[in-house]
Amino acid sequence: MKNLIVPFNQLRIQDVGRVGGKNASLGEMVQQLNPLGIHIPDGFAVTADAYRLFLKENDLEKVVSESLESLDCVNFSNLREVSLKIKGEILKAEIPEQLISAIRSSYQGLCDKAGRELEVAVRSSATAEDLPGASFAGQHDSFLNIKGEKALLDKVRACFASLYNARAIKYRHDKGFDKYVIALSVGVQAMVRADLASSGVIFTIEPETGFTNAVLITGCWGLGENIVQGAVIPDEYLVFKPSLEKGKKSIISKKAGSKTKTMIYSKYGGVVNLDTEPAKQRLLVLNDQEVETLGKWAVAIEKHYKMPMDIEWAKDGLNSELYIVQARPETIHSGKDPFLLKEYALIETGHLLSTGYAIGSGITTGKIKRLKSPAESHLLEKDEILLTEITNPDWDPIMKKAAAIITSKGGRTSHAAIVAREVGALAIVGAENALETLQTGDLVTIDNASGKIGKVYSGKLKWKETQHNFRGMQMPKTKPMFILADPDKAFDLSFFPNQGVGLMRMEFVISKSIRIHPMALAHFDQLKNQEDKTMIESLCQDYSDKKEYFVDKLAQSVATIAAAFCPKDVILRMSDFKSNEYSNLIGGKQFEENEENPMLGFRGASRYYHERYREGFALECAAVKRVREEMGLENLKVMIPFCRTPEEGKKVLDLMESLGLKSGEHGLEIYVMAEIPSNVIQAEQFADLFDGFSIGSNDLTQLTLGVDRDSEVLGELFDETNPSVKWMISEVIRVAKAKGKKIGLCGQAPSDRPEFAKFLIEQGIDSISFNADALLKGIENMVEAERK
């Protein structure tokens, strides 16, 4: 009996050969992490020796070996027949009496502890499973809500048989595992009543980019199988590890998924999947404290195993406690070379058909093949794009054949997402309208190269691919920084050689994510346009205070970029919309006046202290204060645009101080844009007020030369290398250096023109910021300029 059953609390990670990766990991956590306060449900392992005894007592070794020997290992034409034969023999075999006795005794022990006949999860745990480089995700069978000795014994036998699922046989062959040596253990674990609460999946790194400082937590109502199977689009929470460790507010992003299904226990045993009530679909399944608890546990588990981990969690609806029910190594990014990066970019645009979560970074094209089940897999031609509702492990062989995968359901931790990453396929999951907009035969282009959202375009579009190797790349002494707007690109871009973000544009976040004019939120009751009010009510329905909607959304976006580049500086430019751009926001027309020349009108610093926008600026400052002080991201700095006079700068700084943002406190630095000739002419006075300058070369050029930068007629006259513009730039750099103030430049010219980069470096500029597509060329020009 001793070799047939082992309680979790007697197992360690080195017992993989006895009980498989899943059970060894559970034992390791029960022994080593339970004392740290991490809750692991109790249970026991039916060992690999028990499986071998089962085979031996039923004379099954010969059947297994002969059947595997007959397998067509080239075309796998008889894979299904081989699988069915082995499984059929196992399922009709008798469990040896001594194993029955051992399982009964151990199950009764769990029931005695619980004080009732216990529901258990019965999970397969193969002896090669959950090793780095091979996830075995869903290859073998597991069963939930199993109650009673007879049902338990039946499911143990079914787990044994699942070692020879067709998908598992093929997976082991593809991964190079010896088909005769592998054995199967079964884990029997007390069920957490997540059917009455929630559950989900955790990755201790950001799974798309491999960014190591973030924990991704996903969650749904009921049992977590809906997330694993991809049957729902779950909630997502992104936790920043350094903030977590400092005891700061660590959740840098929260997103509610649709969660249309809730899997619960069936009173007849097993589970049933119900429709989630519409009102409940919008609610987040975890509060902030629960998210941070799971984040702390995930970090502790990762530190213990010394590698990124893929973890399953559950919340018990009876006692409201959180539990960790599984943990395995993350298998995708552990083997990647961080210095090699392939970059993709569309070079033409098309009609957008559908969007969802992007899995894998890249672009591909092909014809859609819509399939309902793996039984139709023979219909998929090589290089076609598979379109279906959800996938399960039976889809795995066909997923390797597809040019890409699109599912209408599922999130970034679903089966389709995990397997797509493992086989290196592009996927878009949770594309909710895909089944309505895409049909078999449609020629489409999939763009997964522009952030977290994957896009499906009509037709075959052109794109370019660039291979980067950063190993040994020479960096300049002058800091190369990013110009960045989209938080979805932040983690990807953080892997490029850089010294932080010299300009984060707030306007992108306001227009794409928030969409509402801040004054319309501050004065919602005074809005006259009913359509605007209805839209605002819809967008803000999860917020009792509509102003909090603006602060929360802005803080999350800014925090994501600040976290991606931490501890390097991220300089956030406060809003710099023109009045015509502000009026395009929801509710904006009521708060903006028509201007003949918005470029020279009510913009930048002038707005911040004016009664027509002061309350909006207060919301911007509240978001900055939250990111810096509550989240602990003190690498965030701020910058004031279009500040016409030192007197205006003083007004803005006094207002910011009254709002809790004072230069020098908590390391805060406040810069001013040098983009108006007055900023240069009175540079000494501006330097006395601000901590540094950022030269906005576009506005400075147009205002020095009197040339509209958007004019096609005057395009040839717009030139940053004009002597007048170069004098302006050299002068403000001279003053900044004399005053001991930092100064950088944001613009395209240093990447397009090596001589301009040389000029800036000769003047002693501290940093140059580039758009992402120009960064590497810019660094090359900077290195060359410093060499000369």
Residues involved in catalysis: 415, 746
Q: What's the distance, CA 593 to chain centroid?
A: 40
With a CB cutoff of 8 Å and minimum separation 6, the contacts of 534 are none
C-alpha pair distances (Å), 759 with each of 479, 749, 776: 15, 11, 18
Residue 376 has which token pair? Answer: 């139709």
Element (H, E) at 563: helix 546-565
Residue 437 has which token pair? Answer: 């907009």
C-alpha pair distances (Å), 448 with each of 15, 213, 429, 489: 40, 22, 11, 11
Helix (H, G, I), strand (E, B) or coil at 341: strand
Site of tokens 């498989």? 20
C-alpha pair distances (Å), 570 with each of 197, 507, 662, 671, 736: 39, 16, 17, 12, 20
Spatial distance between the Cα atoms of 687 and 692, rounded to a whole number of angstroms: 7
* Beta carbons of 413 and 425 less than 8 angstroms apart: no
SS (H, E, C) 242-285: HHHHCCCCCEEEEECCCCCEEEEECCCCCEEEEECCHHHHCCCC
Question: CA neighbours within 13 Å on the CB side: how many for 384?
Answer: 19
Paired strand residues for 552: none
Spatial distance between the Cα atoms of 419 and 400, rounded to a whole number of angstroms: 9
Site of tokens 């660039």? 466
* Beta carbons of 161 and 55 less than 8 angstroms apart: no
Site of tokens 């700061």? 248
* Of 192, 493, 166, 498, the residue nearest 322 (C-alpha): 192
* Of 712, 502, 675, the residue nearest 600 (C-alpha): 675
With a CB cutoff of 8 Å and minimum separation 6, the contacts of 600 are none
Residue 119 has which token pair? Answer: 């529901």
Q: Which is it for strands 235-240 and 251-255: parallel, antiparallel or unpaired? A: antiparallel
Annotate 493-547 with DSSP letters as a single string. HTTSS-S-EEEEEHHHHIIIII-B-HHHHHTGGG---HHHHHHHHHHTTT-SSHH
Residue 70 has which token pair? Answer: 């007959």
C-alpha pair distances (Å), 43 with each of 5, 153, 318, 381: 10, 15, 19, 45
Spatial distance between the Cα atoms of 7 and 43, rounded to a whole number of angstroms: 6
Q: Which is it for strands 501-505 and 363-370: parallel, antiparallel or unpaired? A: unpaired
